[in-house]
Amino acid sequence: MTTLNPRPLQCPLCTTAFSGWVVLASQDRGPMTSDLRRLPEGDDPIPRQVNGCPSCGYTGEVSAFEEHAPQADHAVPARLAGAYFSQEELEDAHDPLIADRPSAQDTTLASEVQLHLRPRAPEAHEDPALRYEHHAQICRWLGDGPLREGDAWLRGAWLYGDRGEQANEERCRARALHCYRTGVAERHWFGRREDLVVVAYLIGELHRRLGEAEEAGRWFEQAVTWSSGLQSMQELVQLAERQRSDPRDIV
């Protein structure tokens, strides 16, 4: 079972004090969705795993406000700057044919948070799905990599799906898909081949849920190929093969 405890927190960027949550989770044994979300038997820890400052919009787990809190002047290189809440925003921002826009500049974490997250900070403090969207931006600005950013987008998609907001769910799934595909293309974010297999499977499942069955099948097949010789991945291999021929939303 999951234990959720209130925790007083202080924002490392703007020093605002607020009440957050610390999540103490044991192994959940509820059903699993085909995009690898373990459904809880009791309280769902996901909405409270990430806390959000109500003043500036900085987000993170409890440790991101305490022992692993970043400095406000943490450097954000130009290539990671900006906030993209849809795949269309990201693609437009990086389209070389759109010339009438200022080029990105090196900046700081506090500046990016102030510019992009502060306007909706009170809303994100109360709304866990939006909070994960903000957290995805934080992951990118901190240089945590596309896999961590993708995980945040996927969790946001789950929470939007829980309340029936299909357009927002699909928007977040598309962002998660882009991040995971970027991680696979860059490859150095993976410490183990097992993790590469899991992400390849997730890419397939995200394509499937976005209505792209042919591309989904290619990635399910890729996950099976990359799992060769990994006995510990056989359950996932069986799931990939099933999703290719008889897809379902629950494992």
What averages of pLDDT result for each successive group of 10 residues across the chain (251 residues)?
A: 91 99 81 95 92 99 98 98 96 80 91 99 99 99 99 99 99 99 98 98 99 99 98 97 97 94
**Per the structure block, which two tokens stand in for 187?**
């490859």
- Sort strands 59-60 and 75-76 into parallel, antiparallel or unpaired: unpaired
With the C-alpha atoms ordered 29, 160, 139, 123, is the resulting torsion angle positive or negative? negative
Instruction: Please provide the size of the chain in residues.
Output: 251
Q: What is the pLDDT of residue 26?
A: 65
**Per the structure block, which two tokens stand in for 244?**
């290719």
Q: What is the pLDDT of residue 24?
A: 87
Q: What is the pLDDT of residue 43?
A: 86
DSSP state of 66: T
H or E element in which residue 75 lies = strand 75-76
Report the candidate in 143, 167, 172, 163 with the shortest Cα–Cα distance to residue 84: 172
Report the candidate in 121, 143, 144, 146 with the shortest Cα–Cα distance to residue 131: 121
In the block, which residue shows the tokens 């927190």?
9
pLDDT in tens, 90-119: 998 888 787 677 788 999 999 999 999 999
Task: For the chain, give percent helix, strand, coil, nearest 5.
Answer: 55, 10, 35
pTM of the complete model:
0.97
